[in-house]
Chains A and B, each alone.
Chain A
Amino acid sequence: MPESIRPPYDSRETLAFYLTAALFLVVLPLLNVLPSEDSWLHLSDFRLNQFGKFLCFAILALGLDLTWGYCGVLSLGQGVFFGFGAYCMGMYLTMQIGSESVYGSDLPDFMVWTQVKELPWFWVPFKNFGAGLVGALVVPMVFATIFGFLAFRSRIKGVYFAILTQALAFAAWLVFNRNETRLGGTNGLTDFKQILGFRLTDVSTQRALYILTVVALIGAFLLCRWIVASRAGKVLIAIRDSESRVTFSGYTPWVFKLFVFVVAAGLAGLSGLLYVPQVGIITPAQIGVLPSLEVVIWVAVGGRGTLIGAVLGAVVVNYGRSVLTNYFPEAWPFILGGLFVVVVTMFPDGLVGLIRRFFSGKSPARGLAVQKAQGGS
């Protein structure tokens, strides 16, 4: 490995990462379990569940950081892949409701309303947990492979790709909203009861799901870091900085782009898979144009091209949202919009860039913004 290309992480940041991981994996659950409920140290079940949700979003943001921060491929349709994963898991959970449903029918409630007499064929496999699990990962990846193949092979890049993925998010939102797609229409899938025989309302189930989410996030982070540090990762960065030059050097950029795009889609699916049992509902409103764009703002706020920034951004922005919408419900879109503008124009390196500058006292040489990010390619 040539000395000039440094690995995208150093020992201090690795240490910070392991400390954070330990905090989320061990300390938070312990704070939830051990102290008595009225102690100030106690972390309520609600908060723990909320953190679980944020960490799911962090997995989603990691995928986007991999494609956008490292490969320069901005996808405004990550919500769609998230939605595929979430819906696959949601279908499994819906099948688990069984005769506990409101109408006591074996069919999901919304099918009873919409006069569906028989379980549609694509619902049948989801009686099995394995199918829900595999489907949540494979469906988004297969879809991303097809879409990415068509897009990247014909050298659709930069803004064109961003706009196409946005149209994809819009189209997916339209389709999932329809009743005849048999996915619950506008109301989505909800009212889940159990997963693998464990009650979802039990605190212990939620705690286990939280720990699983943290483990998955750590796994996803290590996977991304391994990809970025590998030789392929170097090509990804080269593609981001000058795609034509990579082409002239004898590489085939679209294969690399497709690869990260599919990995990102898989991570989005994983995120959706973990999100549904913890939050208990998935609707088309969570997979449209705006939710997909919010992923971008998490990554931008955290600092793109840093991986750890994606995690940080997802947690910080969502935490801020949950606090602020409590106090000023009408102000949130202003704040979100303002974040977009301010971060993009003034802090292109995001929080991680600020922190690095603070510790090193140097200008942020490794950040993305100083790269001559030209024409979006």
Chain B
Amino acid sequence: MTRWWQALVGAVVMASVVGLISSAEGLCADDGSEPSSADAAGASTEALIAQALVDITSDEVEVRKAAAAVLINHGDIGLIPKLDEIREAGGRAVRVAIKPVVDMLKNRANLSNESSDSRRSAASDLAMAGRVEAIPYLKQAAEKEAVWWVRYTMDESANLLELQSDDSTVQLAAVKALGELRSQNSVSKLQELIDAGTAEGATDQQRTVATAATAAMSQIESWSWWASSMETLFRGISLSSILLIMSLGLAIVFGLMGVINMAHGELMMIGAYATFVTQQCFIAWFSPDVFDWYFPIALPVAFLAAAGVGWVLEATVIRFLYGRLLETLLATWGVSLILMQAARVYFGDLTAVIAPQALRGGAQVMVGVYLPYNRLFIIGLTIICVICIYYLLFRSNLGLRVRAVTQNRNMSACLGIPTRKVDSYTFAFASGLAGVAGWALTMVGNVDPGLGQNYIVDSFMVVVTGGVGKLAGTIWASLGIGGLNKLIEPISGAVYGKVFILVGVILFLQWRPQGLFAAKGRSADA
């Protein structure tokens, strides 16, 4: 055992010495505060580390600190097992002394990890720990880094650490660099520098740094305004896409069939539960390697489940109520109560779907703007759905028949269109769309029996604002309502945001009583 350790430590020390020597020039030039660089020379490093490993268990605080500093400066990842061993054996004081050493060495090693996420989090951890010794490593890693966002974090961390320097030229350069980087994380540190520079009895150097910091701050602030507007815009589009994908099916049955489907939200809930059940089947029957495939498989499952329920609903309830809007509203509300309670009794209150690997995380498109993949996915899906619906309604035979039945049911029947079939297909298709919406919504929220209720009021507002039976109206209305909601939410809070939207819609209908895209002519006053 001992032999094995000795060999390892020896090899590690050799490697670190080689590394140190190769970067020695950079070290000295970059950071004047690099402690005891003289000690680093030659083969004495090995002895130093060996000594430090002994010293770190010392009873005296100062000795422990010095040993930790030596280890941080000269050690590397290979020391970790040895340190862990010491940590386990030692008392609390030793553990406290070793903790920063281990963190430092691990993070430093992680700077060249394969995963870009761990490289990035290592870089930001190093900056958080505030250990200036990490600067050269960060700079080195940044030079080799290929992913811009990771490189950015490394640069940012290095400069944040350099702010601690005593040398005002280094500080100035760091302040300028942070300003150029638009670093959001440096705001509090820069503010400290500004406060120090403007306080009574500040030195000239502090004042110069403060001036530079003020300039950097204004750069950062104007950028962060842009970034937050970009994020608001994205959030608005994201909410709009969610509203739109929910409203599409609703708009089709409302506009084309004259049916208010209050159970639409529950059809979405069925889609979401279908996704959940598919996931459970994958967990139960298939190997974890193919687990992520459950999600694409769940799409047709969700569509068919919701379409099936919709088809039954149309055949048993709705078809008796055509032409009586208010009655369809009440009857489908009853259906929605039944479906909701059934889900509550069968599935319980709260379940969630695990997102597939590809939809976790997000893309950092620019400093301060982070786009989660699941939101991007819903936006994409909504666009695809809209295109599909457009083609189906306006470029296909089925769509032609649906529109014919909408315009004049009796005439269509005379011309040989099976109106009953068209009705039930249209309703089943719209229900299937609700299922797809539910499938997508599992990526942004829990699956629970109240899923449909949370959104149904909003999607009806979209349909009413857009005007009945107009696809374009639904699209514009969801963009408007979603965007407006996210725009006023930061000012008013989510609850009053909804209230404002309601007031807005009522006032809007004063101006356009039939919605954005009103039906004209004879059919206008049905």
Interface members, chain A 146-176 (any B CB < 8 Å): 147, 150-151, 153-156, 158-160, 162-164, 166-168, 170-171, 174-175
B321 engages A345 (CB within 8 Å): yes
> What is the bound-complex CA distance between A375 and B326, given in angstroms?
7
A164 engages B506 (CB within 8 Å): yes
B324 engages A345 (CB within 8 Å): no
> What is the bound-complex CA distance between A289 and B340, given in angstroms?
15
A19 at the interface (CB under 8 A from B): no
B258 at the interface (CB under 8 A from A): yes
Min distance, Cβ A195 to any Cβ of chain B, angstroms? 32
Chain A residues with CB under 8 A of B333 = 293, 337, 340
B337 engages A375 (CB within 8 Å): no
Query: How many residues on chain B are close to A (CB under 8 Å)?
Result: 42
* One of A31-39, A108-116, A223-231, A328-336 contacting the partner: A328-336
* One of B61-69, B304-312, B457-465 contacting the partner: B457-465
> What is the bound-complex CA distance between A150 and B317, given in angstroms?
34
B330 engages A344 (CB within 8 Å): yes
* One of B13-21, B197-205, B495-503 contacting the partner: B495-503
B510 engages A154 (CB within 8 Å): yes
B330 engages A296 (CB within 8 Å): yes
Min distance, Cβ B508 to any Cβ of chain A, angstroms? 10
Chain B residues with CB under 8 A of A150 = 506-507, 510
> What is the bound-complex CA distance between A1 and B506, given in angstroms?
39
Chain A residues with CB under 8 A of B342 = 334
B502 engages A334 (CB within 8 Å): no
Query: How many residues on chain A are close to B (CB under 8 Å)?
Result: 46
B170 at the interface (CB under 8 A from A): no
B457 engages A333 (CB within 8 Å): no
B513 at the interface (CB under 8 A from A): yes
Interface members, chain B 464-486 (any A CB < 8 Å): 464
Q: Which of B330, B345, B526 is the one whose CB lies under 8 Å from A340?
A: B330
Chain A residues with CB under 8 A of B326 = 74, 158-159, 162, 373, 376
B325 engages A158 (CB within 8 Å): yes
Q: Mark A334-377, 1 if CB is under 8 A from B, else 0.
A: 10111111001100100000000000000000000000011111
B11 at the interface (CB under 8 A from A): no
A344 engages B335 (CB within 8 Å): no
Q: Which of A167, A293, A344 is the one whose CB lies under 8 Å from B321?
A: A344
> What is the bound-complex CA distance between A121 and B18, given in angstroms?
77
Min distance, Cβ A299 to any Cβ of chain B, angstroms? 10
A64 at the interface (CB under 8 A from B): no
In the complex, which residue of chain A has the Cβ closest to the Cβ of B497? A174
> What is the bound-complex CA distance between A366 and B35, given in angstroms?
99
Contacts A340-B330, A376-B325, A376-B326; is A334 near B506 (CB within 8 Å)? no
B57 at the interface (CB under 8 A from A): no
B324 engages A373 (CB within 8 Å): yes
Q: Which of B321, B338, B513 is the one whose CB lies under 8 Å from A154?
A: B513
> What is the bound-complex CA distance between A156 and B467, given in angstroms?
12
A262 at the interface (CB under 8 A from B): no
Contacts A150-B506, A150-B510; is A166 near B460 (CB within 8 Å)? yes
Interface members, chain B 305-361 (any A CB < 8 Å): 317, 320-321, 323-327, 329-331, 333-338, 340-342, 345
> What is the bound-complex CA distance between A377 and B514, given in angstroms?
14
A374 engages B461 (CB within 8 Å): no
Q: Mark B229-266, 1 if CB is under 8 A from A, else 0.
A: 00000000000000000000000000000101000000
**Could you list some 22 contacts between A and B, CB below 8 A?**
A74-B326, A147-B506, A151-B509, A155-B513, A159-B325, A159-B329, A163-B460, A164-B464, A164-B509, A167-B457, A167-B502, A174-B495, A337-B335, A340-B334, A341-B338, A344-B330, A344-B331, A348-B327, A374-B323, A374-B526, A375-B258, A375-B323
* Other 5 A-B pairs with CB < 8 A, given A150-B507, A337-B335: A168-B502, A334-B337, A336-B337, A337-B337, A376-B324
Which A residues fall within an 8 A CB radius of B? 74, 147, 150-151, 153-156, 158-160, 162-164, 166-168, 170-171, 174-175, 177-178, 244, 289, 293, 296-297, 300, 330, 333-334, 336-341, 344-345, 348, 373-377
7 residue pairs, one from A and one from B, having the closest CB atoms: A340-B334, A337-B337, A376-B325, A333-B341, A337-B338, A376-B326, A337-B334
